[in-house]
Structure 1
């Protein structure tokens, strides 16, 4: 375990959303500087505007090289990326200008990590349509990271204290997701999860694998993916020395994991993992008309670099109102440090 505080590249996210706001709020927390040396990747001009709108006392330090960062509490070091026509960016509106700066921030963070200039990366939310409108044709952060690190085998892990869920497939249609439930992919994901959980400090991970169909297929009554693909994958995973159980009916697996039976779960597709995870970590307060809690971290496992992220979107509906919570970003920073230390 390293005693050196890691340098973390934290991306600005889409400036039409809440990313810059929660970044300012996170950089205003002295506890962050006790954990790491944070560096914001994005537009210094936009961050200066946000600081002013929030009446923050932070000073924006615009830099062009990591070596210029002071990492002093009270300042926000911004690795500055030039942006043309920032006035085109309006809160809550999709624009190619916002998508482009958000995308370039992610690519720069990856570049700095690959070059060893930073020790890990943390991402704020982007808008997928905005980055595609800007000409960058990716379906999300995970795919951007895989492309720019040349990583063929990777997976998305959602993590909080009680529940950790990895996915066999993510940003594809539900129809296609069923076709991607294949033995070799499941085995890869189990291995990636096992290694990831160890990096989070769990020495002998216990893994539960979800079925695809209701009742995990009920012995072939409701589909044969469990019989043909999932059961053989679980069997071989155990033969390889992993501690794996399944397929377990999806409506049961997550309750068992949250209660402590499993250290991690394998979901077969995006919403099968995201819905139970967010049900535990996202708390809506109808009296105040906003989320009271937004817990959860998105980690891309299998990469040669560290990447954690908030597990929420750009929240266009509240952007610019100054009410966004930095809770998820603070969690993401904590998890990046944990991965670095292990």
Structure 2
């Protein structure tokens, strides 16, 4: 039997459950072999919502107790592994610690199943960072998926978290970008631009993107400062930190170029049918620097991939969208793109 692909429910108060229900409704071929790790009652509410919007019958939701039962789930039926506890349905669009706890429990269970070789990959629906904090306990220690999965991978490998470096990559058909730092304040992100962090990011990017492309990637590097420092006039980080890291990476055989002005490097890397990009991927120095250009090109096709893990994890390139949760208006395109990419990476 082919191993299933796991989809975690995300925050029950957000759009995660409904985009899962919508994906199963709109694209059953893409969802073949997928099992949801979540709350059965929450998924049934989501399928009823989508049915009311489309004027069709709600897809059945079947609770399964073991991954071995995944092959028994019939077509056009959502199989759900009940791996969290929600005493009652949570209100849409409201931060809720119970929802944060449930989301985290699903993530941890799915990660352990993939690490144990019981599932091929995991796709995570959006979670809310404030809900994680509101959950308290161990959950509140993690600002997001990436850090939680890093901790699970470190435990599985028997290593300290510091020895399992991970990076976030955002990708769509036109642009891929990998971040040196992830969820931290801008002040902390600037401090995180160190020689070791930049070089480590280049190495992780080279290894991961090589595996997906089947060849060494052309890596463009964004500067930290305007005009990439303009020779030190606008900041010394490029000359003191980024350039030395690029030099060492090139000595190791990586096809790395830069640093380039951050206001132009993403346009140079953009790949379109009429103009191939100069680079396969751009390494950005901090979260928003890299994510804004990818999301501007189309959130509906963007995919978040965690690099450096001993498992495949992808997710949609958007958040919980509390403002539209429960309306049925959420677009499942990014989730479907994440599922397709997870299949390719796990092949």
TM over 0.5: yes
The question of whether the paired residues in 2 share the 8 Å contact of 1:122 and 1:307 is answered with: yes
Work out the CA distance in 2 between the residues paired with 1:72 and 1:233. Answer: 52
Work out the CA distance in 2 between the residues paired with 1:123 and 1:26. Answer: 13
The question of whether the paired residues in 2 share the 8 Å contact of 1:120 and 1:340 is answered with: yes
Cα shift readout 1:77-98 (whole Å, capped 9, x = no counterpart): 10112424223x1010011111
Show the 5 A alignment for 1:261-276. 261-276=278-293
Show the 5 A alignment for 1:190-269. 190-259=202-271, 260-269=277-286
The question of whether the paired residues in 1 share the 8 Å contact of 2:18 and 2:49 is answered with: no
Aligned residues: 324
Work out the CA distance in 2 between the residues paired with 1:299 and 1:61. Answer: 29
Work out the CA distance in 1 between the residues paired with 2:218 and 2:2. Answer: 30
Shift of 1:194: 1.1
Gaps of 5+ in 2: 52-56, 155-160, 272-276
- Whether 1:161 and 2:173 are equivalent positions in the alignment is yes
Show the 5 A alignment for 1:140-155. 140-150=144-154, 152-155=164-167
Work out the CA distance in 1 between the residues paired with 2:301 and 2:86. Answer: 34
**Which residue is equivalent to 1:19?**
16
Shift of 1:72: 3.2
For residue 31 of structure 1, give the secondary structure of its aligned residue in structure 2.
Answer: coil
The question of whether the paired residues in 1 share the 8 Å contact of 2:40 and 2:82 is answered with: yes
Shift of 1:5: 5.3
Comparing 64-73 and 91-100, the one that deviates more: 64-73
Comparing 52-61 and 227-236, the one that deviates more: 52-61
Work out the CA distance in 2 between the residues paired with 1:267 and 1:5. Answer: 37
Gaps of 5+ in 1: 283-293
Comparing 230-239 and 189-198, the one that deviates more: 189-198
Work out the CA distance in 2 between the residues paired with 1:74 and 1:329. Answer: 17
Work out the CA distance in 1 between the residues paired with 2:210 and 2:74. Answer: 32
Shift of 1:71: 4.4
Q: Structure 1 residues 302 and 13, CA, compared in 2 at 3 Å: closer, same or farther? A: same
Comparing 73-82 and 264-273, the one that deviates more: 73-82
**Which residue is equivalent to 2:30?**
32
Q: TM-score, normalised by structure 2?
A: 0.90
For residue 308 of structure 1, give the secondary structure of its aligned residue in structure 2.
Answer: strand
The question of whether the paired residues in 1 share the 8 Å contact of 2:121 and 2:313 is answered with: yes
Compute the RMSD of aligned alpha carbons: 1.4
Work out the CA distance in 1 between the residues paired with 2:283 and 2:46. Answer: 39
Shift of 1:204: 2.2
The question of whether the paired residues in 2 share the 8 Å contact of 1:20 and 1:50 is answered with: yes
Q: TM-score, normalised by structure 1?
A: 0.92
**Which residue is equivalent to 2:87?**
85
Work out the CA distance in 2 between the residues paired with 1:231 and 1:203. Answer: 24
**Which residue is equivalent to 2:158?**
none
Shift of 1:50: 1.6
For residue 58 of structure 1, give the secondary structure of its aligned residue in structure 2.
Answer: coil
- Whether 1:299 and 2:311 are equivalent positions in the alignment is no
The question of whether the paired residues in 2 share the 8 Å contact of 1:60 and 1:77 is answered with: yes
For residue 117 of structure 1, give the secondary structure of its aligned residue in structure 2.
Answer: coil
Instruction: Choose the corresponding residue for 2:46, options 27, 47, 50.
Output: 50
- Whether 1:10 and 2:7 are equivalent positions in the alignment is yes
For residue 92 of structure 2, give the secondary structure of its aligned residue in structure 1.
Answer: coil
Show the 5 A alignment for 1:127-142. 127-135=128-136, 136-137=139-140, 138-142=142-146
Work out the CA distance in 2 between the residues paired with 1:149 and 1:82. Answer: 20
The question of whether the paired residues in 1 share the 8 Å contact of 2:316 and 2:338 is answered with: yes
Show the 5 A alignment for 1:115-134. 115-134=116-135
Work out the CA distance in 2 between the residues paired with 1:145 and 1:271. Answer: 21
Shift of 1:104: 0.8
Show the 5 A alignment for 1:283-298. 294-298=300-304
Work out the CA distance in 2 between the residues paired with 1:314 and 1:117. Answer: 28
Comparing 212-221 and 175-184, the one that deviates more: 175-184
Work out the CA distance in 2 between the residues paired with 1:71 and 1:264. Answer: 39
